[in-house]
Amino acid sequence: MAITPTLAPLPDDAVDTLVLGRRIRHLRTARGLTLDELGAAIGRAASQVSMIENGHREPKLSLLSQIAAALGVPVAELLREEAPSRRSALEVELERAQRGPLFASLAMPTVKVGKSLPTDALEALVRLQAEVQRLLTEKAATPEEARRANAELRATMRAQDNYFPELEEHARRLLGAVEHPGGPLSQRGTADIAAHLGFTLHYVHDLPHSTRSVTDLANRRIYLPHGLTSSSDPRSALLQAIASFVLGHAEPRDYGDFLRQRVETNYLAAALMLPEAGAAELMREAKAERRLSVEDLRDAYAVPYETAAHRFTNLATRHLDVPVHFMKVHESGTLHKAYENDGVRFPSDPLGAIEGQPVCKNWTARIVFAIPDRFSPYYQYTDTPTGTFWCTSRVQGSSEGDFSVSVGVPFQHVRWFRGRETTERAVSRCPDPTCCRQAPTELADRWADRAWPSARPHASTLAALPTGAFPGVDTTEVYEFLDRHAPQG
């Protein structure tokens, strides 16, 4: 099967000498000129022209102008980014690979890329290089690599107080374009944003199981599930699809890029549902009256509690000067995702990653699962080795089980919040194992040699992360879906 390589983009101000050289060679041979003849026309030796054509030398603009004049084309024609032919594109790809770090690390002899190299051999070498690169990337896509990428992303979010002004500006422009009056964004308003961007919406019953939505960029269609679960917000999947388009997301280069894109789409979707100006003003008024509440933000904008909690962390530090932390914890006690800039210490592994780590049983996020009242918020103070924190928490259901969603602040900032009068208090000594992970001595003595539990490990415990451009997505299924639904003719 023939392949057409896609050349990696270069910085805006860089000249791709390999493509430039191939364009010059292509035009020279098309005009029947030899190296000596072109060299004579520009006052250079044939060897110098050959160096340029092989991408080993970048000519100055004055020399480039002479070459263009000799070939009878404008300079812009030489500087076009695409290779002049498929064969040239393959040559450039192989040359670039041989000059890259992968070939250097393998200590392989280089292949002379010239006319004598058959096209089928050239294709085979380019494909072999791509496959080796893919295998190396797949090998690197381990749980360790994912945890490291997650830790780095969380550090970036902390450094910015989880506030991204460029994403807020995108939200303002989109809302302004559809003349959103402020307040909650209706489902109709969400559809208006899609229409403003030139998309039509199509609700289907056969959406690929591994996706929340599918965007057909060629025909400007967004496909969404026909049915939604009771816990789903009908705006969320559409806004995330819109966000990816607006932000110009391309296929993720690695797992870190995938995680960054996910954070950006979630952030922009929330910024559209809870516009900064109105939400920040509501929060400022609530702080002035000492009645800050995630529930009030949720109710004012008609969004799920988790969305309101996320948005609260975006705006609290920037607009209220209140440091916060956020946690989403599975009913099994493991940390699903979290954010902090207030000094709370989450459990972490040696790589600094927190996902999948067991949360102290005395923290609000764990105790809330035992509270029979699932409709009222639960508040608690927790004394920890890094200080006392107040937290509010709720439990929500999902197809993967129950999760608690919690927002907390250091003790000195609790005076601004509803629920500060709670008398619930706990002490956590974690990571000291005697806090809640180590069984009491009497209990351990009675059962240590008489018990053998069978663990229920997650399927991904030992597996590498899903590979592919979009981890976890079956691209074949997606492409078949698009084929079925694409407009005919």
**pLDDT at 426 exceeding the cut of 70:** yes
Q: Which residue, 368, 342, 374, 340, is CA-closest to 354? A: 340
Domain termination site, one of 139, 168, 202 = 139
Question: 269 and 150 in one domain?
Answer: yes
For the chain, what is the total number of helices (H) and then of strands (E)? 19, 9
The band of 279, judged by pLDDT with boundaries at 50, 70 and 90, is very high
Question: 241 and 183 in one domain?
Answer: yes
Residue 462 lies in a domain: no
pLDDT, residue 221, reads: 93
pLDDT, residue 438, reads: 81
Residue 394 lies in a domain: yes
Residue 307 lies in a domain: no
Mean pLDDT of 156-172: 95
When comparing pLDDT for 297 and 483, which is higher? 297
Span 243-274, pLDDT tens digits = 999 999 888 877 788 889 999 999 999 999 99
Mean pLDDT of 269-283: 96
Question: 438 and 415 in one domain?
Answer: yes
pLDDT, residue 3, reads: 42
C-beta atoms surrounding 443 within 10 Å: 9
Alpha-carbon Rg for the chain, nearest whole angstrom, is: 29
Residue 280 lies in a domain: no
DSSP helix/strand/coil, 276: helix
Question: 346 and 258 in one domain?
Answer: no
**Entry pTM:** 0.69
pLDDT, residue 5, reads: 47
pLDDT, residue 70, reads: 93
Mean pLDDT of 477-489: 80
Residue 86 lies in a domain: yes
In angstroms, what CA-CA distances link 248 with 13, 193, 211, 221, 460? 20, 16, 19, 16, 30
pLDDT, residue 14, reads: 59
- Domain span holding position 65: 17-139
In angstroms, what CA-CA distances link 286 with 282, 294, 421? 6, 11, 16
| HSE-up of residue 327 (Cα within 13 Å, Cβ side) | 33
Question: 149 and 104 in one domain?
Answer: no
> Domain of 386: which CATH number?
3.30.450
**pLDDT at 229 exceeding the cut of 80:** no
Residue 168 lies in a domain: yes
C-beta atoms surrounding 376 within 10 Å: 10
175 Cβ contact partners less than 8 Å away, ≥ 6 residues apart: 185, 193, 272, 275
pLDDT, residue 428, reads: 95
∠ CA 306-312-313, nearest 5°, is 95
Give me the residues paired with residue 477 across strands: none
Span 174-191, pLDDT tens digits = 999 999 998 899 999 999
Question: 178 and 242 in one domain?
Answer: yes
Question: 147 and 134 in one domain?
Answer: no
Q: Which residue, 327, 458, 293, is CA-closest to 396? A: 327
> Domain of 41: which CATH number?
1.10.260.40
C-beta atoms surrounding 457 within 10 Å: 8
Question: 264 and 161 in one domain?
Answer: yes
221-225 and 387-396: which strand pairing?
unpaired
In angstroms, what CA-CA distances link 487 with 71, 94, 107, 222, 483? 45, 38, 50, 13, 9
Residue 255 lies in a domain: yes
Domain termination site, one of 121, 139, 157 = 139
| Percent of the chain surpassing pLDDT 70 | 88
The answer to whether 334 and 372 have CB atoms below 8 angstroms apart is: no
> Domain of 203: which CATH number?
1.10.10.2910
200-204 and 425-427: which strand pairing?
unpaired
221-225 and 425-427: which strand pairing?
unpaired
Domain termination site, one of 139, 173, 203 = 139
Question: 172 and 126 in one domain?
Answer: no
The band of 94, judged by pLDDT with boundaries at 50, 70 and 90, is confident
Alpha helices in 10-100 (DSSP H): 17-30, 35-42, 46-53, 61-71, 75-78, 86-98
pLDDT, residue 462, reads: 40
Question: 147 and 93 in one domain?
Answer: no
Mean pLDDT of 398-404: 88
Question: 191 and 84 in one domain?
Answer: no
Mean pLDDT of 62-85: 91
Question: 268 and 201 in one domain?
Answer: yes
pLDDT, residue 219, reads: 93
Residue 213 lies in a domain: yes
Number of independent structural domains in the chain: 3
